Amino acid sequence: MIGLGIESTAHTFGASVVSDNGRIMSNVKDVYKPPEGAGIHPREASRHHSDVAPKVLKDSLKKASKTYHDLDFIAYSAGPGLGPCLRVGATLARFISAYYDKPLIPVHHGVGHIELGTLLTGAKDPLVLLLSGGHTMILSAHDKRWRVFGETLDITLGQLIDQFGRSVGLSSPSGPQVEALASKGKNFVQLPYVVKGNDLSFSGILSAAKKSLKSVSVEDLAYSLQEVAFSMLAETAERALALTKKPEIMVVGGVAANKRLKEILSSVAERHGSELLIVPAEYAGDNGAQIAWPGALYRKHGYSVQPERAFIDQSWRIDEVEVPWRG
Ligand code: AMP
Ligand code: MG
C-alpha cells in the first residue's frame, strides 16, 4: 500500500509519498517566507500554497515514480493550523480523492510530527516533547490517545523564539538565527521563569526580553531566553518522566533542531536512565511525510472519510484524536 500526504497547516506546503512499511519515497516542500520582521500572514501563506501546490504535488509523485492512479489513499493535514492554509490542502485532497476514487484521511498535524518521529528514531513507547510552531506539549500514549502531561498556557516555545526574533528584525521562523545569537551570549539576565503545576507560560519571557532590548545586547538576551525557556521545559519533562518512567524521551517539531536544548535534555534523560531520541533535522520541520505516514497507519485500521465530509479544525486538540495503533 502507498499513499500521498499533503501538509499545509502554516508556512509549509508539502507532499510526500510513503509506503505502509514506512518507506518515504518522496518528500517535497515549498515554504512561504514572510518579509523580514513580519509574521506569517494567513492569506499570503495560503496564496503561496495555491501557487506552489501543482509543482510540489507533481514533483512528489515524479520522485516516487508514481501517478495518482497508483495511490491507495490520500491523507491531508486537517488541523490545527491557519484556516486559509488548511483549506488549500483539504480542498486539493478532497478533489484528488473524489476524482480518482481513493480513500481520504484527515490527519492531526501534531500526531503527524509524533508518528513520523517514532518511525525515524525507532522509538517504541516514548515520552514525547512536541515542540513545533503550533505546539509545546509533553505527551505519552495511553489507551489509543496521546495524553497531555504538560503544555503551554499561552504562546508556544516556537512562537516565543520567532516573536523575539521578529522584534530584533529577523524573518520568521527565526529559530536557527536566534540559536546562533544565543551561542554568542555570555551574560545571563533574569527573565520570568513560569511553571504552573506542570504547565508552562512563555509570554512573560517575551515581554521582559523585548523591554530589555534597550539595555541588554541581543546575544545576551537570546542566550538568557533559551536558558530560561529550555530549563522550564526540562523541569516539566523531568516530572513527567519520573511519573511515567518511559524508557525513551523523543523530541519532535522544528524546535527539536536546537543543540542547546539537546544538551539540557540529555542530562534529564541520563538521570532517569532514559534514551534521548531526536527527530532528524531534515524531518523536524513541517513536511508531507508526517501526514502520509499516519495516513498509512489509519488506513491499516480501516479509517477514511467521505470527500464531502472532509473537515478542517483550526484548533483541533491532540488529545481528542483517536490513534488506534497506540495501546
Ligand atoms: P514546525 O512548526 O514544526 O515547522 O516548527 C517551526 C518552529 O521551530 C519555529 O518556531 C522555528 O523558529 C523553530 N525552530 C526551527 N529551528 C530551530 C532551532 N534551531 N532552535 C529553536 N527553534 C527552532
Ligand atoms: Mg509543525
Which tens digit of pLDDT belongs to each residue from 120-131?
999 999 999 999
CATH number, domain with residue 157 = 3.30.420.40
Q: Which residues line ligand 1 (CB under 6 A)?
A: 132-133, 158, 161-162, 173-176, 179, 253-255, 257-258, 285-286
Does residue 109 lie in a domain region?
A: yes
199 and 303 together in one domain:
no
Residue 288 near residue 16, CB atoms below 8 Å: yes
Q: Residue 16 in 3-state DSSP?
A: strand
Helices (H), 101-167: 109-121, 157-167
Does 130 fall in a domain? yes
**Grid coordinates representing 216?**
541588554
Q: What is the pLDDT of residues 98-150, one digit of tens each?
A: 999 999 999 999 999 999 999 999 999 999 999 988 899 999 999 999 999 99
Instruction: Identify the band that residue 171 occupies on the pLDDT scale cut at 50, 70 and 90.
Output: confident
Q: Provide the pLDDT for residue 68.
A: 98
Task: Specify the number of domains making up the chain.
Answer: 2
Q: Do 316 and 200 share a structural domain?
A: no
Ligand 2 center to 215 CA (angstroms): 34
| Residue 253 CA to ligand 1 centre (angstroms) | 7
The answer on pLDDT for 75 being more than 90 is yes
On whether residue 118 sits in a domain, the answer given is no
Taking only the tens place, the pLDDT of each residue in 222-276 is 999 999 999 999 999 999 999 999 999 999 999 999 999 999 999 999 999 999 9
pLDDT band with cut points at 50, 70 and 90 for residue 86: very high
Confidence of residue 37 (pLDDT cuts 50, 70, 90): confident
Same domain, 98 and 130: no
Q: Which residues have a Cβ under 8 Å from the Cβ of 70 and sit 6 or more positions away? A: 2
Residue 16 CA from chain centroid, whole number = 16
Domain that holds residue 37: 2-113+286-320
Q: What is the pLDDT of residue 227?
A: 98
Residues 136 and 247 in one domain: yes
Which pairing describes strands 24-31 and 12-19: parallel, antiparallel, or unpaired?
Answer: antiparallel
* DSSP string over 37-100: T----HHHHHHHHHHHHHHHHHHHHHHTT--GGG-SEEEEEEESS-HHHHHHHHHHHHHHHHHH
Cα 207 to middle of ligand 1, angstroms: 20
The residue to mutate among 9, 166, 178, 255, having the most atoms of ligand 1 within 8 angstroms of its beta carbon, is 255
Better-scored residue on pLDDT, 66 or 308: 66
d(CA 256, CA 240): 18
